[in-house]
A and B are shown apart, each in its own frame.
Chain A
Amino acid sequence: MPPPLLFGKKESKRARKFLSGDSIFKKLTLIFALFILVLFLLIFYELYSGSQLSINKFGLGFLTGVEWDPVHQVFGALPFIYGTVTSSIIALIIAVPISLGIAIYLSELAPRRFRSLLSFMVELLAAVPSVVYGLWGLFVMVPWIRDYLQPFLESTLGFLPLFQGPKFGIGMLAGGIILAIMIIPTISAVSREVMLAVPDTQREAAFALGATRWETIRVAVLKYARTGIFGAILLGLGRALGETMAVIMVIGNRPQISLSLFEPAYTMSGVIASEYIEATQEIYLSALIEIGLLLFIITLIMNVFARLLVWRMMKMFRGAKE
């Protein structure tokens, strides 16, 4: 059946070709694609021009400054960068093994009926709003950390400076754990999808060579799916870097750099959310926008770095296959 005519039969063939659905659709989607690029550049430009005042005043010292004093208008971003990066790393250290365990169980080992129920629950967890996690963290998790986890860590690993210090419950550790809980659903759900996509021929081949179940998972599934798993971890990291509300509620919001995970810390998105509304002096506002710019850049670097890693792994993987 010919495509429907927009202007009736009198139109010339050329016009029809020009206005044919395919061509319009192509241009339309191109505009949408360019829109993303424009949006990205606009955000970058807005953040950059908004932080001009702070960039001129503090220069590179902004990156290394450890003081954040709105009263005397001295601003340094290092404690916030440290807080964001460290809490995200803690979250990954906790979340990655657990999520991979969940994903392996769900894709390889779980009985079929149980599998769909459990997968559904995991996906449900990903949809819980972060402020709910924060409230739960403040009223349930923090007292538990204070009363059980911190005394336990101090008595067993207390010789490390990481696990010394005040036992408030609130602090870097609580921030990292709440982030871990929040990114587990993301990482495990995506990893599970990736593992399910591994062709059964891979598994059958491994079994045929006499591999045990564990060896099959390791050699046939995990190795085959590792790029995808890495992507899943990145998605989790992205969420951890930008997460604001839940972390604000449990991390203690104190701009300091301390080796101890029990001490309070502060994140970049946290300080923006907390102080932007009442920041009235221009330099103060500008410093907060520069924090936003830095967060933007850090997220960008992390993503580019991760993309490169994925490409390299894919290349290596292809090389190994040949």
Chain B
Amino acid sequence: MPERGTMKSKSGISKTMAVLAIIIIVIGIVAAYYILNPYTTITLNGAGATFPEPLIKKWASEYNKLKPSVVINYQGIGSGGGIQQIKEKVVDFAGTDAPVKDEEMTTGYLVHIPETIGAVVVAYNMPGLTGTLKLDGDTIAKIFLGNITKWNDEKIVALNPELSLPDQNIFVAHRSDGSGTTYIFTDYLSRVSQEWANKVGMGKSVDWPVGVGAQGNPGVAGLVSQNPYSIGYMEIAYAYLNNIPYAWIKNEFSGEFIEPTLESVSKAAEGFLEEMKEDVRVSIVNPPHPEAYPIASFTYILLYKEQNVYGARTNFEKSNALLNFIWWVVHEGQEYSETLLYPRLPPEVIVICEELLRSITYNGQPIITS
């Protein structure tokens, strides 16, 4: 028995010793790390819209290569979540597809910086169709209102005289989750159709008169590709990457049918330059530009106009790093847009972004002075 006792206590001591040793070593390593590398990195946190997430993450990693001391995190938690987080002051910037109204800015004025443009295409699935479907705003609104139910409706036939359209019911697919894509699409429909504006209106989720709802771009794409004679809307990059055919949309100012491409979407941003100088939050759907694809909208980065609102969590260096990053985003950062299938900002819009960035202050003093 005594031997067993001593054995036990011996092994007990050695176990405690081992645990203590591990703790001490870990503390030592952490302390050494901080002593040897004085805290020089600046971490910028952002959250919000999922639509620009791949692009913002690309920017973050490229910018980190240029300036290793700046680390940028972005979480695609949705525009609503992003706005909430910047209001609670837990992130340094937020991403949103739909602009924030003045009366909703309860915690300080938020400057909107457009960083890229989102475009929505009207995708369809029509077996045996040779050629591309052409549609105009009023017809799309009537299809999604349920007023047009057949593919060989005279309105669709009139727009597509060279196509032979089948006598089939139209299967309408839409998003069921709240999304910026729905916001852009319903914004466009409200603009081109009075009936849509009165009955349904615009928003990230709406009360759809007809159709079947699916989750996310992949869900709608799945519905459209699964169901013959269907129509749905989705983000341009998604339809492009998945080879889903999409319609050319009539530009109301030139009467031309415009193929959605990165260039034609980018031109949509040039349609409202005067209005944008007044307020950058203006909607750019259905723009008065003859070559523009009409279903497009900016997606924005939100920044506090007065940066010193985070209390002890911020300092001038951090705000400065943040603004330098956003400045880089709207200039050099745009080089990365098209490879990821996002349209570039037109030069005139970049000038507007510069003005907006110069208006941001720290303790009332402008941060960017050049």
Contact = CB atoms under 8 A, between A and B. Distances in A.
A278 B204 contact: yes
B80 A279 contact: yes
Interface stretch (A66-74, A155-163, A184-192, A298-306): A66-74
A275 interface: yes
Interface string B214-226: 1100010011001
A313 B176 CA distance: 43
A275 B205 contact: yes
B215 A274 contact: yes
A264 interface: yes
A217 interface: no
B346 interface: no
A43 to B, nearest CB: 21
Contact of A278 (B79, B171, B219): B79
B178 A264 contact: no
A142 B84 CA distance: 38
A277 interface: yes
A65 interface: no
B212 interface: yes
A278 B222 contact: no
Given A143-B226, A274-B176, A280-B80, A168 B215 contact: no
Nearest to B204: A278
B368 to A, nearest CB: 30
A139 B222 contact: yes
A203 B190 CA distance: 71
A70 B226 contact: no
B78 A278 contact: yes
A277 B207 contact: no
Contact of B206 (A67, A70, A143, A253): A70
Given A138-B226, A170-B223, A71 B178 contact: no
Contacts of A69: 206-207
B25 interface: no
A280 B205 contact: no
B214 A249 contact: yes
Given A170-B223, A280-B83, A71 B212 contact: no
Contacts of B77: 277
A276 B81 CA distance: 9
B207 A71 contact: yes
A307 B77 CA distance: 40
A255 B222 CA distance: 20
B338 interface: no
Contact of B178 (A68, A168, A278): A278
Contacts of B203: 70-71
Contacts of B355: none
Nearest to A166: B169
B213 A168 contact: no
B79 A280 contact: yes
A39 B231 CA distance: 46
B213 A275 contact: no
Contacts of A255: 207
B222 A138 contact: yes
A254 interface: yes
Contact of B80 (A168, A252, A273, A278): A278
B176 A253 contact: yes
Nearest to B205: A70
Nearest to A252: B212
A248 interface: yes
A78 B211 CA distance: 19
B211 A274 contact: no
A169 B177 CA distance: 21
A71 B213 contact: no
A246 B314 CA distance: 44
Interface in A164-193: 166, 168-171
Nearest to A254: B213
A279 B178 contact: yes
A174 B207 CA distance: 22
Contacts of A253: 176, 212-215
A69 to B, nearest CB: 4
A276 B205 CA distance: 10
Contacts of A67: 207
Point out which of B169, B208, B213 has the most chain A C-beta atoms below 10 A from its C-beta: B213
A168 B227 contact: yes
B205 A168 contact: no
Interface of A: 67-72, 138-139, 142-143, 146, 166, 168-171, 248-249, 252-255, 264, 266, 270, 273-280
Closest 6 CB pairs of A and B: A278-B178, A253-B213, A253-B176, A277-B78, A69-B207, A71-B201
10 contacts: A67-B207, A71-B206, A169-B226, A170-B212, A255-B207, A273-B177, A274-B178, A274-B215, A277-B80, A278-B180
Interface of B: 77-81, 83-84, 98, 104, 169, 171, 176-180, 200-208, 211-215, 219, 222-223, 226-227
